[in-house]
């Protein structure tokens, strides 16, 4: 008797195609970090700031979206009003804080959204369709699982400390590093090795072309966002 094995593909797909997400990260990082606060670049920064906000709403992460929105409104108030009425070291302090938040928060949130909404299989499939070398694909695929796993490990360490009634005690910096930082650092090495071995076990790095059961492809929303990103990039380069 011949056995027939079928795979039921999940109907849940990422909000965006991984290739569109990577382009969004690159364009948002370029405009937010290198863009100015006047002229056309100011409006391009607003557009790039709104993309991660809409992405968070699409993913139904409303609490994160509200926090993100409030932070940028706070920074806009600082850049628009507070910097005009302060001077000296206080002005320098607000310039540094506002600059760090306004320039780096949007790319970080966009990267967070991509890692939360994109599976490793979808990412690897998209990279292979772009003919990206496996020497680049494999480390990026490991990274996609590395940060969420480290976050889970950190929560596990915190829960273990609470169970042992250590978390509520006043600790010195040395003790805090011993109880929290050292276990996480030890787990980091182990997790990196395990994820690398898991990637190789799944066929990454092999000479034979892999097959995929996940669905990856550009949809209408991808084409719309790509067009918007291309326009933003062209305006940023021209002006």
Q: Are 238 and 32 in contact (CB under 8 A)?
A: no
Which token pair is 146?
A: 């590395």
What is the reported pTM?
0.76
Helices assigned H by DSSP within the chain: 18-34, 40-58, 62-77, 83-85, 88-117, 120-129, 134-163, 173-176, 182-201, 220-238
Phi-psi group of 88: left, alpha or beta (phi > 0 → left; psi -120 to 50 → alpha; rest → beta): left
List of the chain residues with pLDDT < 50: 1-11
Share of the chain above pLDDT 90, in %: 26
Q: Cβ–Cβ contacts within 10 Å for residue 165, how many?
A: 8
| pLDDT value at residue 5 | 37
User: What percent of the chain is helix, strand and coil (3-state, nearest 5)?
Assistant: 75, 0, 25
| pLDDT value at residue 44 | 93
| pLDDT value at residue 214 | 74
| pLDDT value at residue 32 | 92
| pLDDT value at residue 216 | 80
Task: Go through the chain and tell me how many residues it has.
Answer: 239
Q: Cβ–Cβ contacts within 10 Å for residue 14, how many?
A: 21
């Amino acid at each position: 008797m011949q056995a027939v094995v079928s795979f039921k593909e999940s109907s849940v797909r990422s909000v965006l195609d991984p290739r569109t997400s990577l382009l969004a990260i690159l364009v948002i990082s370029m405009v937010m970090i290198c863009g100015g606060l006047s002229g056309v670049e100011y409006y391009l920064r607003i557009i790039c700031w709104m993309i991660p906000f809409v992405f968070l709403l699409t993913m139904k992460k409303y609490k994160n979206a509200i926090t993100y929105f409030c932070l940028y409104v706070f920074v806009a108030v600082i850049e628009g009003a507070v910097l005009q009425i302060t001077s000296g070291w206080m002005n320098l302090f607000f310039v540094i804080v506002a600059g760090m938040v306004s320039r780096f928060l949007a790319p970080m949130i966009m990267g967070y959204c991509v890692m939360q909404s994109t599976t490793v299989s979808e990412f690897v499939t998209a990279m292979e369709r772009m003919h990206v070398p496996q020497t680049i694909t494999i480390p990026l695929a490991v990274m996609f699982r590395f940060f969420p796993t480290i976050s889970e490990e950190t929560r596990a360490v915190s829960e273990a400390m609470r169970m042992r009634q250590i978390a509520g005690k006043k600790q010195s910096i040395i003790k805090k590093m011993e109880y929290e930082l050292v276990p996480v650092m030890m787990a980091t090495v182990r997790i990196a090795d395990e994820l690398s071995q898991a990637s190789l076990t799944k066929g990454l790095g092999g000479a034979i072309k892999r097959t995929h059961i996940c669905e990856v492809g550009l949809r209408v929303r991808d084409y719309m966002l790509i067009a918007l990103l291309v326009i933003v990039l062209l305006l940023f380069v021209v002006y």
